[in-house]
Structure 1
Amino acid sequence: MAEQPLHEHTLGNGLRVVVCEDHVVPLAAVNIWYGVGSRHERAGRTGLAHLFEHLMFQGSGNVAEGEHAALLEAAGASFNASTSFERTNYYETVPVSHLELALWLEADRMGTLPAALTQANLDNQRDVVKNERRQRYDNQPYGTAFERLCRLTFPSGHPYAHTPIGSMEDLDATTLEDCKDFFGTWYAPHNAVLSVVGDVDPEETLRAVEKYFGGIPAGPATPEARPGDLGPLSGVTNEDVDEDVPSPAYFAMFSLPTDGGDDIEAAEMAAEVLGGGSGSRLYDRMVRRDQIATEVWAGVTRLADGPSLALVEAVGPDPEKISAVLDEELARFAAEGPTEEEAARAAAQAERGFLERTETVTGLANALSQNATQFGDASRVFTAPARAAAVTGDQIKQMAGRWLAPGARTALTYGGASK
C-alpha cells in the first residue's frame, strides 16, 4: 500500500485527529484510542480498564442505556471495542451518511459518561466480565496460559504482570467511585487519538470533529505511568499446571525489545522463522521429523511501553522432550541464523501482515490511531513493510542470540514432568 495523504489536527483540548480519504466504498471508519490499559491499573483494581470498556456502552449524558448500540445498529454500522495492556479503543464503521452520528456518540460518552454511571450498570457489567473470564479463560483448556506466563515473566507489582481480564477478587472489590475516578483520570481528550478513514471530505470531517469534541474540557494531566523495562530473561522458570486438558502441552514466553525500534523488527522475524506456521523450523522439527508434537506455533505481542513478548506453544505427549528440542533449535538458530530464503519469507510475511491489517477502512483507521498514540506519528504505519525488508539475516541472528536464547524463558508444562 502506498502512503496515503493524512490530514492531522489537534483540538484546543488536546484531542489529536487524523483523517484519511479512501473513496473506494461509501463507508467511514471512526476509531478512537485512549492511552489507558491494564498497565495503568493500581494494585487491587486489576481488570478495571477492561470493565470500563463495557461500561462505555451503557449510556452517557444524552444517550439512554442500550441506545448507543441501538442507534448504530439502526444505521447499519459495525462496531466494537477492545482493551490491551497499553490502550483501550472504540471503533465503528458506518455508511458515510451516518458519520456525524458516530462522532456524536463517541463525543457524548467522552464528555458525559459519568452521568450514566450507576450501581446497577456497574453490577450488571461486572457480572458480564466475570462470565467472560469464566468462558474464555478459566473454563477453557490452556485458557489461563498467557496470564500465568505473565506472572512468571514479570516481577510482582510490575505493570505487565497482570493481564487485562483482571481477577475475580479485584472485579468484586471495584466500586462506583473507582469507576468515576478512572474515567476522570484517563478518559480525557488529551489522552486520546481519533482517526477517521473513508469516503469523507477532510475539511468537513475536521469541522464536524471540532463541533462535537471541541467543547469537552481537556481534563487534568494523566499520571506518569510506572516504568515497564525488562531485559532478556535468564534461566528457565517452569511451572507445572495441574489442570484437566485434552493433551499435554508446553508453553514458553520470552521477553523481546520494546516496539518502536529496529530491534523488534529483527526479533519478530526471528520468531517467525522459528515458529511462524507450518513452514517454520520448530514445526518441521517437532511435527514432521521427530513427531513429538501435533502442533507448534510461535507469535509476538508488540508492546510500546515495556518489553514485547514472544510466545511458543506446542501440544504433544512429552512436554519435557519438547522443551529439550526447543533448546536445541534455539541454539542452532543463534549459531547459524536464518537462510536467505527464510529471511525473505519472514519479510514477505511481515508485508502480508501489514496488508491484512490495513486493507479495510476499519483496519487502517485502527493502525493510524495506534501509531499516533504509541509513537506520535500516524504516518509511520505506511513504513512497516520497508522496515521489515531492511532487516538483514545477521540482525535476525543477533536478536535471536540475545532474546530467544536457549535456557532463557518462562514456561508452563501441562500434563507432564517439568524440565
Structure 2
Amino acid sequence: MKKWILAAAVSAALMGCAGQQQSETSLPEGVTLVETVSFSGEQVGIPYRKYQLANGLTVILHEDHSDPLVHVDVTYHVGSGRELEGRSGFAHLFEHMMFQGSQNVGDEQHFKMVTESGGTLNGTTNTDRTNYFETVPNNQLEKMLWLESDRMGFFLPALTEEKFEVQRETVKNERAQRIDNRPYGRMGERFNQAFYPQGHPYSWPVIGWPEDLNRADVEDVKHFFQRWYGPNNATLTIGGDFDEMQTLAWVNKYFGEIPAGPAVDAPVKELVTLDETRYLSMEDRVHLPLLRIGMPTVYARHEDEAALDLLSNILGGGKTSLFYKNLVKDGLAVQAGVSHPCQELACQFSMYALANPARGGNLAELEQAMRDSITEFEKRGVTDDDLEKVKVNFEAGTIFGLQSVQGKVASLAFNETFSDNPDMIGFDLARYANVTKEDVMRVFNKYIKDKPMVVMSVVPQGQTQLIAKADNFVPPAEKVASVAVESLDIKPQISSAFDRSIIPAAGATPVLTMPELWKGQLANNIEVIGTQTTETPTVEIVIYLNGGHRLLDVNQAGLAGMTAAMMNESSQKRSSEELTQALEMLGSNVSFSASGYQSQVKISSLTANLDKTMAIVQEKLFEPGFTAADFERVKQQKLQHLQRELTEPNYLASTAFSSLLYGENSPFGVSSGGSLETVSAMTLDDVKAFYKKQYTAGNAQIVAVGSLNEAQMLTKLATLSSWKGAATPLPKLAELPKFEGGKIYIVDKPEAAQSVIKIGKRGLKFDATGEFYKSYLMNYPLGGAFNSRINLNLREDKGYTYGARSYFSGGPELGFYQATASVRSDVTTKALIEFIKEINAFQEAGMTEKELDFMKSSISQSKALDYETPYQKAGLMRNIQRYNLDDNYSTQQTAITNSIGLNELNQLAKEQLNLDDMVILVVGDRAKIEPELSTLGYPIEILQL
C-alpha cells in the first residue's frame, strides 16, 4: 500500500487552505453560513463555504483565482426517478423547456446571452438529478445568476403551448438520433424493463417512452415544474474567480425572494432483487452480436459499493482483467468488459461482450465463457496488485478531475445533492483505500456468485439462431398514472421586489493573460514547447509525429491507425497486459493513436511518477513487440469495427462526403480508418515498414504541460534524446476530381429513423489570421453558434432536428465547408429546403449589424475560457508549433475579431457560400425520401459504399 499512501499525500499538494470564515453579521439578511471547509497537510479535498437561504436554497462557493472565469451550476434533485409510470420523460423534457425563456428572459435569449458573453452552457438529465451550468468570463457572473434565478422562479408565465410542442418534437428528434437511429440504441431501455420490477423509477428511459411524451400536455408540465423545481430542492454551486461577499449579495437578491416549493423527501432506497434469471433478445440493424448480463447489487455510497467496484475491475476492467484474457485475447469477442455503475437508488453489476463473427458469433458460447471467467475468479481470488492498481487509479482519476473549475464544481454539487455534504472526496478515497481482499470475496459471494441475472442478446436482423437462450421474459403492460405528479399545494406567483426585466450589466472586462510559454530542444533537435501550471501535481505530454494517414497511398488506408494500435500492444520485453499493469500501478496512461496528418503519443502522469512513466514510453516507442498474435487479433478487431461502422448513418455520411469532395485517389477522400478491403490486405510487414517511416525523431515534436518548470521538464524528456531518424517527406497529392455541385447524392440506409444531411464543398486550408479565420467569423451567426440562423430554424422553430450547424474545417493543405444535421426521415425534404433558404439568404444579404455585434462579443470574450485546463493549453501550443505561429496569435485573432467590418464579412459570404458550388448528400431510407427530394429540381445520383 505504500504507493497508494504516497499518491494520496502528493494529491494533498493541490489543495490550499480556504480563507478565514466570514462573520455571520456581515452576511446579507436571510443568508446563513452552514460551514467553512479548508484543507492543509495531507488532507485531500476542495475548499468551499456552504450557505443556505431562508427559502431552503443551498449555496456552495469555491474560490479559484487561477483563471478569469466562473462556473455556475444549478442542480435540482429531480430526474426520471421522480416520475410516475406512464408519465415518463418529464425531467428530460424540462431540461429543454428551461432554455426557452422565462418571464423576463425572451425566447431563445438564454443561449444568446451566455454565448454573447463569451460563455458556454448546457444542461443534463439522468435518473436522479437535472443540472444547468454555464462557464463565463468572471465579469458576467451577475448576469448568470439573474438568468438562472428567472427560470427557477419565473418560468411558468412564459410557458406556452407552442413552446411545449416544439420542445416535445425536439426531444423526439433527440430520441431518434441517439436511440432509434443508433445501433444497439434501444438495448438499454429494453434491458432495464427486465432488470427492474414494474413501476420502479429506473424501469423507464430517462428520455421517456414516445407514447408517454405524446400523452403529456402543458398542464402536466406546469405541475411537474411546481412540484420539483423550487429552491429547497436545488443546490447552487459557484466556482472560480469572484468576490465572495459580492456574490452572496447577488445570490440573495436574485434567488432569495423565490418561495420554497413543496417539501421534498429523499427517495426510498430498497435493494433490487431478481427471482430468476431472465433471458430476452432483440434483433437490430447491427453487425456484431452483443451479449449483456446484469445483476442487481446495492445503491450509490452503500458500504459494499467500493468492493464491488474493485471486483468489476478485476473481472473486466481492461487488458489486465479476466474478461480480456478469456474473451478478447482468445478471439471469442471483439470487445468485453465489466463495470459497476451506481445510481441513487440502485447499482448494477454489468457485463458485456461483442461477439467475433469470425468465431461464429454464438452468444450461448459467449455466455458460457463469461460464466467460466467468474468461476475462474472464485478459484483465483484477489491479489495485492488487484487492490493496489484500482486504488491508485481511483486516486489519480480524482486528481485529474480537479484540473478545471467545472470539474471541482461538479464534484461539490454532486456530493451535496446526494450526500448533503460537498466534502466527500476524502471519504471516497478512504473507502476505496480501505477495501480488503476479504471484502471483495465477501461481496462476490453475497451479490454475484450463483445469483439470478438478466441476460440480453442483441443480434443482427434475421439471425435469431445466435441468441444465448430463448426468451423467458415479456415486459408487462405499462400502467398509466392518472396524473403527472401527486396533488400539490401550489403557492401563487410572486411579484419581485425589484425590476427583473433589467438585464444586469457586465463588470469590467477581465484581463486575459496568455500562458507563459517556453521553447526548447532535446539533444537530437526534437522541438519542445511547454508551460508550467501548478494547480495539480500532474503532467500531460503529447508527442506529435508529422505524417499519419497523409503519408499513405490510398490502398494502404488505415495503416497509420493499425500501426498505432500495435504500439498499444506488447513490447519486446513485456506483454501488453504487463505494460498495462505497470501503468495502472502508477496511475498513468500512455496511448498511441493516428489521424489525418499525424500520429500521437499521449502521456498522462502524476508528477511524482513521471520518470517511471517515461521509461514505459521509451519501451513502447523504441521496442515495439509487433508479434503475429497481437497483429491478427488487432486486425480482426479493426475489421469487425469497420463492419459495425457501416451500420452507423453518420459514418456513412462522413465517408461519402469525403469521397465526393476529394475523390477515391486522395488520402482525404478515403477514411483514415481504412476500408474492409485495405485492412484485410494489411500484413505485419506493412506495419513494421510504416513504423520505420513514421516513428522517427525527425517527424517528432513535443508539447508538455505540467507542474514542472522548463529545466525540470526537459530533464524528464531527455530520455527521448537517443531517438534517431530523419523526417519523412509527404508524398505528392493526387489530382483532385472535378467537383460537381448542384446535385443531390443519396446513400440508402433502409429503415433509418433519421436522415443525415450534408451540404458542402472543398474549401480553404487552415490559417490563424487570414481568410480561413475570417470565414469562421463570417459563418458564426449562420451556423457556428447554438442560436445561429440554421439551428434556430431547424431545431427551435420547426422541430426537425436535435441540432443543425455549419462550419469551415481546414488542415495544412486542404479544407472544406459543411452544413449538416440529422433530421426526422419524414421531414427530410422540408429540412433541406430550410437549409438552402438560410444559406442562400446569408450569401445574398450577409449578416446584420446585430449579428456582427453578437459575433464580436461572443468570440472575443470567450478567450477567457481558452487556457484553463492542461489540454486547452496544449492545444494552443500545438497550433503555434504545427503552423509556426506567433506566440501571441490568439491576441492577433482577437484584434481581427474586434476590427473586422460588415462589408468584408459579407463579401466573404458571397464568395464562400454559393450553393451552386456545393454538393448535397443525404443518407437515409431511399424509398421514403427520394420521391419528395426529386421534386426539388436537382439531379439525383445514388451512391454505393
TM-score (norm. length: structure 2): 0.43
Structure 2 equivalent of residue 6 of structure 1: 48
Structure 2 equivalent of residue 348 of structure 1: 392
Structure 2 equivalent of residue 403 of structure 1: 447
Q: What code does the residue aligned with 1:244 have?
A: R
1:103 corresponds to which of 145, 152, 165: 145
Tell me if the contact between 1:33 and 1:369 (Cα under 8 Å) persists in the aligned partners: yes
Structure 1 equivalent of residue 676 of structure 2: none
Unaligned runs of 5+ in 1: none
Cα 1:255/1:51, change in 2 over 3 Å = same
Structure 1 equivalent of residue 419 of structure 2: 375
* Structure-1 separation of matches of 2:276 and 2:393: 31
What SS is found at the alignment partner of 2:155?
helix
1:86 corresponds to which of 124, 128, 134: 128
Tell me if the contact between 1:28 and 1:94 (Cα under 8 Å) persists in the aligned partners: yes
Structure 2 equivalent of residue 220 of structure 1: 262
Tell me if the contact between 1:24 and 1:199 (Cα under 8 Å) persists in the aligned partners: yes
How many residue pairs are counted as aligned between the two chains?
416
1:272 aligns with 2:308: no
Q: What code does the residue aligned with 1:286 have?
A: L
RMSD, aligned α-carbons: 1.7
2:81 corresponds to which of 15, 39, 49: 39
* Structure-1 separation of matches of 2:351 and 2:95: 29
Structure 2 equivalent of residue 56 of structure 1: 98
* Residue 231 (structure 1) shift: 4.0
- For residues 74-129 of structure 1, the C-alpha deviation after alignment (integer angstroms, 9 at most, x for no partner) is 11111111111111111111111111111111111000011111111111111111
Tell me if the contact between 2:187 and 2:458 (Cα under 8 Å) persists in the aligned partners: no
Cα 1:131/1:59, change in 2 over 3 Å = same
What SS is found at the alignment partner of 2:245?
helix
* Residue 345 (structure 1) shift: 1.2
Structure 2 equivalent of residue 240 of structure 1: 281
Q: What code does the residue aligned with 1:300 have?
A: H
Structure 1 equivalent of residue 383 of structure 2: 339
Q: What code does the residue aligned with 1:312 have?
A: M
Higher relative contact order (CA 8 A, sep 6+): 1
* Residue 204 (structure 1) shift: 2.5
* Residue 405 (structure 1) shift: 2.6
2:204 corresponds to which of 162, 172, 187: 162
* Residue 376 (structure 1) shift: 0.6
2:347 corresponds to which of 308, 315, 318: 308
1:297 aligns with 2:337: yes
Tell me if the contact between 1:60 and 1:115 (Cα under 8 Å) persists in the aligned partners: yes
* Residue 200 (structure 1) shift: 2.1
* Structure-2 separation of matches of 1:32 and 1:382: 24
Cα 1:372/1:223, change in 2 over 3 Å = closer
What SS is found at the alignment partner of 2:424?
helix
1:330 aligns with 2:374: yes
* Residue 52 (structure 1) shift: 0.8
Q: What code does the residue aligned with 2:420 have?
A: G
* Structure-2 separation of matches of 1:347 and 1:111: 44
Matches within 5 A, 1:109-148: 109-148=151-190
Tell me if the contact between 2:314 and 2:386 (Cα under 8 Å) persists in the aligned partners: yes
Tell me if the contact between 2:80 and 2:92 (Cα under 8 Å) persists in the aligned partners: yes
* Residue 300 (structure 1) shift: 2.8
Structure 2 equivalent of residue 252 of structure 1: 293
* Residue 138 (structure 1) shift: 1.6
What SS is found at the alignment partner of 1:342?
helix
* Residue 407 (structure 1) shift: 5.0
- For residues 129-156 of structure 1, the C-alpha deviation after alignment (integer angstroms, 9 at most, x for no partner) is 1111111112211112221111111111
Cα 1:358/1:406, change in 2 over 3 Å = farther
- For residues 57-84 of structure 1, the C-alpha deviation after alignment (integer angstroms, 9 at most, x for no partner) is 0001110011000000011111111111
* Structure-2 separation of matches of 1:344 and 1:248: 35
* Structure-2 separation of matches of 1:358 and 1:284: 33
Q: What code does the residue aligned with 1:256 have?
A: T
What SS is found at the alignment partner of 2:121?
strand
What SS is found at the alignment partner of 2:110?
helix
1:68 aligns with 2:110: yes
Structure 1 equivalent of residue 428 of structure 2: 384
When Rg is computed on C-alpha atoms for both structures, the one with the higher figure is: 2
* Structure-2 separation of matches of 1:335 and 1:151: 33
Farther off after superposition, 380-389 or 192-201: 380-389
Q: What code does the residue aligned with 2:341 have?
A: T
What SS is found at the alignment partner of 2:164?
helix
Tell me if the contact between 2:85 and 2:201 (Cα under 8 Å) persists in the aligned partners: no
- For residues 345-396 of structure 1, the C-alpha deviation after alignment (integer angstroms, 9 at most, x for no partner) is 1112222332343331111111111111111101113432222111112212
1:418 aligns with 2:458: no
What SS is found at the alignment partner of 1:28?
strand
What SS is found at the alignment partner of 1:30?
strand
* Structure-2 separation of matches of 1:236 and 1:355: 40
* Structure-1 separation of matches of 2:390 and 2:412: 24
- For residues 313-346 of structure 1, the C-alpha deviation after alignment (integer angstroms, 9 at most, x for no partner) is 2101121111111111222324443211111111
* Structure-1 separation of matches of 2:103 and 2:447: 49
What SS is found at the alignment partner of 1:162?
coil
Tell me if the contact between 1:255 and 1:403 (Cα under 8 Å) persists in the aligned partners: yes
Q: What code does the residue aligned with 1:333 have?
A: F
* Residue 223 (structure 1) shift: 6.2
Farther off after superposition, 211-220 or 48-57: 211-220
What SS is found at the alignment partner of 1:408?
coil
What SS is found at the alignment partner of 1:81?
strand
How many percent of aligned residue pairs carry the same amino acid?
Answer: 34
Q: What code does the residue aligned with 2:333 have?
A: A
* Structure-2 separation of matches of 1:362 and 1:250: 36
Tell me if the contact between 1:232 and 1:402 (Cα under 8 Å) persists in the aligned partners: no
Cα 1:224/1:395, change in 2 over 3 Å = closer
* Structure-1 separation of matches of 2:266 and 2:67: 41
* Structure-2 separation of matches of 1:48 and 1:245: 30
Tell me if the contact between 1:271 and 1:298 (Cα under 8 Å) persists in the aligned partners: yes
Tell me if the contact between 2:362 and 2:468 (Cα under 8 Å) persists in the aligned partners: no
Structure 2 equivalent of residue 262 of structure 1: 303
Cα 1:382/1:89, change in 2 over 3 Å = farther
TM-score (norm. length: structure 1): 0.95
Tell me if the contact between 2:89 and 2:208 (Cα under 8 Å) persists in the aligned partners: yes
- For residues 254-276 of structure 1, the C-alpha deviation after alignment (integer angstroms, 9 at most, x for no partner) is 22211123311111111122112
* Structure-2 separation of matches of 1:223 and 1:260: 18
* Structure-2 separation of matches of 1:68 and 1:214: 21
* Structure-1 separation of matches of 2:314 and 2:321: 5
* Residue 232 (structure 1) shift: 4.9
* Structure-2 separation of matches of 1:283 and 1:397: 20
Farther off after superposition, 270-279 or 84-93: 270-279
Matches within 5 A, 1:356-375: 356-375=400-419
Structure 1 equivalent of residue 364 of structure 2: 320
* Structure-1 separation of matches of 2:218 and 2:272: 38
What SS is found at the alignment partner of 2:325?
helix
